[in-house]
Amino acid sequence: MDDLELQRLVENISMKSFRKQFRHKAYFNPRLRSTGGRYMLDTHHIEINRKYFEQLGHNELCGIIKHELCHYHLHIEGKGYKHKDQDFKFLMKEVGAPRFCSVLPDQPRRNVSRKVIFYICKDCGQVYKRKKRMNTQKYVCGKCRGKLMMKQELTIG
């Protein structure tokens, strides 16, 4: 599929699902890595990641297009076009657009490891769990204003 065929497909989906014309450009963007598509607020163009079409097929591509067209039509009409907006959520449900695109089969799963640090108050024994290190000379216990000391640092995952 080339950019011209993609443009026609986006125009067809816009007319069938939204009953509105798509008056801007749709094209494949080879630089997209972590997303299936993108609606450009300033130009109103839609960019699509070709890998999603190649690896997951026509149905996935149509879902991505519907999702981006929800952003497009709501933005053009001056309604809530962001993911958190009720207008967006309602329109996505109405046209059957997916909230997220599927994970690509060739995408490696990221190994997510988290650091957890435990601090304890020397006076009252209150335990604090933190994601980042903190300066124990600067901060005191919120319960009794006693001195804090690092108890343990764990890496999870």
Which residues partner with 128 through β-bridges? 119
pTM of the model: 0.69
> CB under 8 Å to 16, separation ≥6 — which residues?
none
Q: pLDDT tens digits, the chain, 157 residues: what are they?
A: 899 999 999 999 999 999 999 999 999 999 998 899 999 999 999 999 999 999 999 999 999 999 999 999 999 999 999 999 999 999 999 999 999 888 888 876 666 678 899 999 999 999 999 999 999 999 999 999 999 999 988 887 6
State the Cα–Cα distance between residues 30 and 54, nearest whole angstrom.
12
Q: Which amino acid, residue 101? A: C
Q: What is the structure's pLDDT at 3?
A: 94
pLDDT at 122 (0 to 100): 95
- Which pLDDT belongs to residue 112? 67
Give the relative orientation of helices 58-76 and 86-95 as an angle to the nearest 10 degrees.
Answer: 140
| Residues taking part in catalysis | 68
Topology given in CATH for the domain delimited by 3-95: Zincin-like (3.30.2010)
CB 55 within 8 A of CB 106: yes
For residue 79, what pLDDT is reported? 95
